[in-house]
Structure 1
Amino acid sequence: MYQKKVKESNEKKVFHYIYQKQTNLSIADISNDLNISFPTVKTIINKFLNANIIKEDLKIGSGSGRKAQYYSLEKNFFYSIGISVHLNALKIYLGNERGEVLKEIVIKDDFFKETLIEKIDDALDEFFSEINDQVKGKIIGIGISIPGIIDNHNNIIEITPSIRIDLNKIKVLSKKYNLKILIDNEANLCAITEKFLGIGKEFSSFVVLNISSTLNMSNFKEKDFYGEFFLKASRVNHMIINFNGLLCECGNKGCWGKYSSELSLIEEIQKINPNIVKLKDVFKNENFENKQIKEIFENYLDYLSIGIKNIIFMYNPEKIIISGNISQYKEFFKDELIKKIYNENIFFRGSETIVFSNLGERSVSLGAVMLPLIDELF
């Protein structure tokens, strides 16, 4: 579990302020808004200028008097590499401090194996060979998302109950590339993406439900304006919603992930039409209008709503952000899902609690890119 604690320094506070506003920044405004002395802010601004983190803009003013100097956040002053591990693919991204993707590759393979780190190493070798030296010099770290947990007590990465990887392999990889490597559950990284790049900017506290090949959730809480936050992934995919239901790989029956993940939906629909292999195929008119497919999807929403109701009862969240690939197709099911969740409910909050991500299937990968940047800069 990654927990960000902001360093108690004026420099960090000023940077967080600059990152949030990005343009039309003046020393006077920063000083007043943060209650930091003008000379202190000026010293920090000069340091950021020398490091090419910010740049001077045109001075603003009228007449012959002294004009105010304004600043804005520079672009591409740092880079980061994000790696997201999926059931049958490995995605590697090069991004900048704004989360903009500049290079990406997708490798199709079975990555739920004990050889995961070795495969990541091979992929990184090729990825770095295609990046110029100027960019390499500005890369500050590598973030890795996994559909599992980091067990620091036992020093392992648990992908599934049967696949566990020695965490020391990450240290070896970090030494080889001379870069810090941060690794976390994909739900946590999805939450980071939503907070810094997505709809979560508007909220100080939220739950993100990431619906992908697996099903996972993270609880995000921002502690103060200066960037300190806490997040924690929950293994809701093993929350039992049908005790006589389908057998899960964990050994229990009726786990939520067996009914409400993207993979479970595709597998069920393939019993009707084996040619449907991707989620986008489900929502094509000729498929989605099929009576049998619509019935399967209706059952899918039933199970999805049951799990979301349980989350609301357990956490009473201010917001639930539904993320992952399925969020791209919300127009097909949003109203029906919300109706199922809030029909005859006794919740403290209303249906405005449920919102949908606008980042689609990239939310996890972007979180992996952002993790080293946030760790370094905030």
Structure 2
Amino acid sequence: MYQKKIKENNEKKVFHYIYQKQKNLSIADISNDLNISFPTVKTIINKFLNTNIIKEDLKIGSGSGRKAQYYSLEKNFFYSIGISVHLKALKIHLGNERGEILKEVIIKDDFFKETLIEKIDDALDEFLADIQNHVKEKIIGIGISIPGIVDNENNIIEITSSIRINLDKIKILSKRYNLKVLIDNEANLCAIAEKFLGIGKDFSNFLVLNISSTLNMSSFIEKDFYGEFFLKASRVNHMIINFNGLLCECGNKGCWGKYVSELSLVEEAKKVNPNIVKLKDVFKNENFENKQIKEIFEKYLDYLSIGIKNIIFMYNPEKIIISGNISQYKDFFKEKLIKKIYDKNIFFRGSETIIFSNFGERSVSLGATMLPLIDELF
């Protein structure tokens, strides 16, 4: 679980306000909205000007009277690096405070190994070698996403039930690059991407169901306007939906992840058409119109709807954001999925609970890139 406690000082509150508004900011408005004295806000604004976090805009006013000074958030005042670990690839990104990706490298390999951190170290060393020094000086941290669990209590990173890595390796990585290194479950980082950059902005309590090569989920709860929040990843991939079903690597039968991950859908479709190797191949017209593949996808939606129903009963969330690569293809199945979920339902909320991410498979990378920025600035 990642928990961000806002520091009890005015500077953090003012920054959070500025980040949310980004432009058309005046000292008077900030002072009134946050109930902080004008002189205190002015002192903070001057500090942010000196550190190039904000910039002065043209003064606004008419006539001969005194014009109001407005401010806006500066661009590229900080950078961070995001690293997302996938089944057969490692993605490294350089991003700015707005979540804009400025540099990307994708390395194809099997990264689900005990040597994961060492492989990240090698890739990161090469990645940084191509970044200009004036940019390096503004990098404030490294965020790493994994399709597993970070167990701080036992000091391990659990990639799978058989691959566990000592968390002390992260400390070594941090010392080597002299940067803060944060690591978390990819669903938690999807939630960060949605809250600060995506459709989660307007919600204080939501779930993200990330459907990728694996399946995972995160709860996002914001406690107040000033940015205190916490995230908690859950192992919904091992929620049993068919006790006589497929054998999972955990030893149980019928785990939800065995039926609704992106990988499981592709593997089933590949049995019909060997040319299907990626999710996008499933949704090609010539494939998706195939009767057998349509039946496979119909069954896939059955299993997906069963799990989502269980989640709604357990959590009664304000929103469920479906994230991951499959969200790009929502036009193919959104209406049918929602009908399956809400047919004869007794939920407290209606079908507007289910929404889809606009980031597709990028949400994990965006969240990993934003994590050091959020941790440092909020």
TM-score in terms of structure 2 length = 1.00
1:51-130 equivalences in 2 (<5 Å): 51-130=51-130
CA drift of 1:113 comes to: 0.2
CA drift of 1:370 comes to: 0.4
* SS at 2:77 equivalent: coil
Residue of structure 2 equivalent to 1:349: 349
* SS at 2:231 equivalent: strand
- Asked if 1:311 is matched to 2:311, the reply is yes
* SS at 2:48 equivalent: helix
Distance 1:341 1:301 in 2: 9
CA drift of 1:131 comes to: 0.2
CA drift of 1:362 comes to: 0.4
Q: Deviations over 1:145-178 (max 9, x none)?
A: 0001111122111000100011111111100000
Distance 2:158 2:355 in 1: 30
Residue of structure 2 equivalent to 1:203: 203
Q: Deviations over 1:99-131 (max 9, x none)?
A: 000000000000000010010000001100000
**Matched residue type, 1:97:** E
- Asked if 1:14 is matched to 2:14, the reply is yes
Q: Deviations over 1:278-331 (max 9, x none)?
A: 111111111100000000000000000000000000000010000010001100
* SS at 1:202 equivalent: coil
Distance 1:63 1:246 in 2: 76
**Matched residue type, 1:377:** L
Residue of structure 2 equivalent to 1:269: 269
Q: Deviations over 1:177-236 (max 9, x none)?
A: 000100000000000000000000011110110000000000101100001001100100
Instruction: State the aligned residue count.
Output: 378
Distance 2:23 2:184 in 1: 32
* SS at 2:183 equivalent: strand
* 4+ runs deviating over 2 angstroms: none
* SS at 1:102 equivalent: strand
Residue of structure 2 equivalent to 1:297: 297
Residue of structure 2 equivalent to 1:179: 179
* SS at 1:200 equivalent: coil
Residue of structure 1 equivalent to 2:38: 38
- Asked if 1:139 is matched to 2:139, the reply is yes
Distance 2:152 2:325 in 1: 30
Residue of structure 2 equivalent to 1:377: 377
Residue of structure 2 equivalent to 1:214: 214
Residue of structure 2 equivalent to 1:234: 234
Distance 1:48 1:283 in 2: 49
Listed as ranges, the gaps of 5+ residues in structure 2 are none
**Matched residue type, 1:122:** D
Residue of structure 1 equivalent to 2:170: 170
Distance 2:279 2:160 in 1: 23
Q: Deviations over 1:240-281 (max 9, x none)?
A: 000000000000000000000000000111111111111111
**Matched residue type, 1:244:** N
**Matched residue type, 2:125:** D
Distance 1:153 1:368 in 2: 22
Q: Deviations over 1:39-83 (max 9, x none)?
A: 000000000000000000000000010000000000000000000
* SS at 1:360 equivalent: coil
* SS at 2:193 equivalent: helix
**Matched residue type, 1:286:** E
**Matched residue type, 1:337:** L
* SS at 1:301 equivalent: helix
CA drift of 1:2 comes to: 1.3
CA drift of 1:10 comes to: 0.4
**Matched residue type, 2:18:** I
1:151-162 equivalences in 2 (<5 Å): 151-162=151-162
Distance 1:12 1:274 in 2: 54
